[in-house]
Structure 1
Amino acid sequence: MDVLDEVKAATLLIVGSLDTDVLGLNRDAYGRMTCQKRLVVVEGATHLFEEPGALDQVCALAKDWFKTHLL
């Protein structure tokens, strides 16, 4: 059994387009997960989302996800 089969909670994966190693890992995990899921790639962002506006995008995506799935 794949460990990702154990994930039951709705899962949001957010990764920067310039974080190529982590992007590949997230794409692999996304493909193997069976729960409700979404993968969002923030264009032009690196690993820590330090680019102008990138972290704001991450915050907005997470806020919307939590409002939909936790409330």
Structure 2
Amino acid sequence: MDAPAGVAHIRSLLAAGLPTSVIRELLPCVRGPGPALEHCAAPTLRKWLHELDGRIAALQQARSAPTHLLAAIAGAEA
């Protein structure tokens, strides 16, 4: 892969929301314009999705505490 194509691939993957650590693992699996990913990218993408799911669950849990506090405040004001 030449440098301009490599930069274009990295920019595309960054635009997709992938961190540079994941992109580094995916680069050997990038082919053609776009980038098109080969099957070797699947385990890395599955791992990243699993990590995102964990973060989302943690954020949802963290969000519930202030939501309950606001509900308690609203109930006390009524």
Which bracket does the TM-score occupy, shorter chain normalised?
A: 0.3 to 0.5
Q: TM-score, normalising length from structure 1?
A: 0.41
Bigger proportion of residues as helix: 2
Indicate the structure whose relative CO is greater, using CA pairs within 8 Å and at least 6 residues apart. 1
Q: Rg larger in 1 or in 2?
A: 2
Bigger proportion of residues as strand: 1
Q: TM-score, normalising length from structure 2?
A: 0.38
